[in-house]
Structure 1
Amino acid sequence: MKTIKVELGTRSYDILIETGIISNISNHLKDFPFSEKAVLISNPTVFPLYGEKVKAQIESAGYRVKVILIPDGEEYKEFLWVYHILGEMLRFGLDRKSCVYALGGGVIGDIAGFAASIYMRGISCIQIPTTLLSQVDSSVGGKTGVNHPVGKNMIGTFHQPSLVIIDPYTLKTLPEREFRAGMSEVVKYGVIWDGEFFDYLQKESNGIRALDGDILEEVISRCCSIKAEVVSEDERESGLRAILNYGHTIGHAIETVTNYTEYLHGEAVSIGMVAEAWLSALTGRMNEDNVFKIRNLLQTFDLPVSLRETLRPEEIIPHLSIDKKAVGGIVRYVLPESIGKVNIISDVTNDMVKEALKRTLS
């Protein structure tokens, strides 16, 4: 088992990564001072696969468990479902020492974490991510929240989990499209932090696509290590942590303009990464060879790298300013200077962004 620690003083926690750990969760719960009642939040896709097993593991550690299922999909990451979850938690009688378990992908992790963060002003949450995207990114770092029709992830909290339990075996049952979408976040870490990891992804692309267990454990642990290092230094995104949003400024705008129904999050981020790489090249910060390296690696994992031709750049521009990184109405972009290094830039015009989006079509 690989253990990665997120160092946050009294709120530090471990990320446990091991194939098969989902069948042995109870051993890792015994040292937590949780009260008797617990809630397990999942969806109708994941729960039939792993829910009863996880529920039994939590119960064997001495807890009474209530299961709450919410529909599967980004369009359900809204406050209506948080309100539903909170009502179920109140009726079940969770107290301030209770724990919420999130079993599923990014939507489940975000919405369960958000509910935990505001229930009685905050109770514990344990993340058990089952998608690649949630295992390498959203389950770590404490960001929780829901979407709003005006913008993605604009309503939320920072609420660190007590523990993150990652079982790479769950990727065996993940739809291929979902796995591909998660690879955009994996590639992101290579671009923003570690050029050697970027090269490793190129070298091991066949093994990754074949779901080789050892390679996947290495990929997941490397991503989590990078994110843990960044979050430990800047928990609340006042500086360094913003680099984790590479590809997300444009990616979130794409998701919003298409009503969260056309692209998976990772697919929109993939297009955003290529567009923001072009933006860096167009502003003289990075050579075009690196743009093509980024684009080609994303294409290796069958990710989209350009807008569909009927989606015009002009439709995306108005949504860019509705971004958590914006300050005083000025949009800030995470732009790569090379493979492994990025900077946060604000001197970018909408015309430059339009041109960068057009370049993705070339």
Structure 2
Amino acid sequence: MPVARPPEVFVRPLSMAEGQRLQRINRTAKDRVRLRRAMIVLASAQGWSVPDIADLAQVSQRYVRQVIHDFNETGFDALDPKWSGGAPKTIDDTTRTRICAIAGCDPRALGRPFSTWSLAKLCDYLIEQGIVAAISRETVRTILHDGGVSWQTTKTWKASNDPEFLPKMRRVLDLYDTPPPDGRVLCVDEFGPLNLMPRKGKAWRQVGRPARQRATYTRTQGVRHMLAALDLSTGRLTYRIRTRKRWPQFLDFLKVLRRRWPGERLFLVIDNYGPHKRPEVLAWCATNDIELVFLPTNASWLNWIECEFTALRYFALNGTDHRSHTEQNAAIAGYLRWRNTRARPKTHFAINSPIREPDYMINVA
């Protein structure tokens, strides 16, 4: 009898703002648990199957499914590590909810002459109003964290104003879903800048003996940029490292891809970076059987190669302190050789994924 496969699991439909937030976490998160979980959620949102995500992140399929289920239930709180233990609660849940509500209010609406709360001011207010008899700043901090209230900077955000957002998104997803029989689909993007500097990372060490890196350094050797392409038919990455990433370097990389797959029509999924749209680049592609498939503006998280860059940063660069670009390039090359020997064709693009449903298209628009 055939072995029954577990049902496919995907994250819920994401808004454009949520997709951008996930991409930002994948690029800047310092906590390894938060970074790994964000990578899993982003990959699932892009339509990766559970086995493929587990292989990318080097974790179990059970862990991947749990992260996806947790995100669907609690949202971005599921990305944070959960630590258990501690003393029993001395403040009841009703009071905790009230404290969270007060923290979210404008202090001026409550008769205070300032526009934001500090923990000390919030403690004083709670005691003066008789909400609690006594409370410390650390207790307030814990209550707010448990209640999903965090100290945040007010920021602006940009939704896609692309008038052709839906057609472009459908075009990209169609290429992911059913690659053209007469060509090859490649996801292309730039990674970098690659600086020479000590990078924070995580590693297994003896208790009390953390690894140390220099805190003072100078960068006198410039930066490098990696141009990379993910071949969906094999799952392999092709890349070149250059000193710049302007249109001549991008065009040279396209010529590398053209020589690598002669006689095939190439469909390149790329973002709207200026050099990608240079007249010289567009003219060369038109005469060399290459179609540039541009993502909607502010939607680069739809590019399948983004998760590969997160894994590259996590496994090859974090925790390193390379002193030359030759040394750093060799580390990147070693990781990508290891990765490419284990690559598998991206043939299962999760036809039932929420990102291909009509409601999802309306939601992100």
TM range (shorter): under 0.3
After TM superposition, the score normalised by the length of structure 1 is 0.25
After TM superposition, the score normalised by the length of structure 2 is 0.25
Task: Specify which structure has the higher proportion of strand.
Answer: 1
> Higher relative CO (CA 8 A, sep ≥ 6), structure 1 or 2?
2
Task: Specify which structure has the higher proportion of helix.
Answer: 1
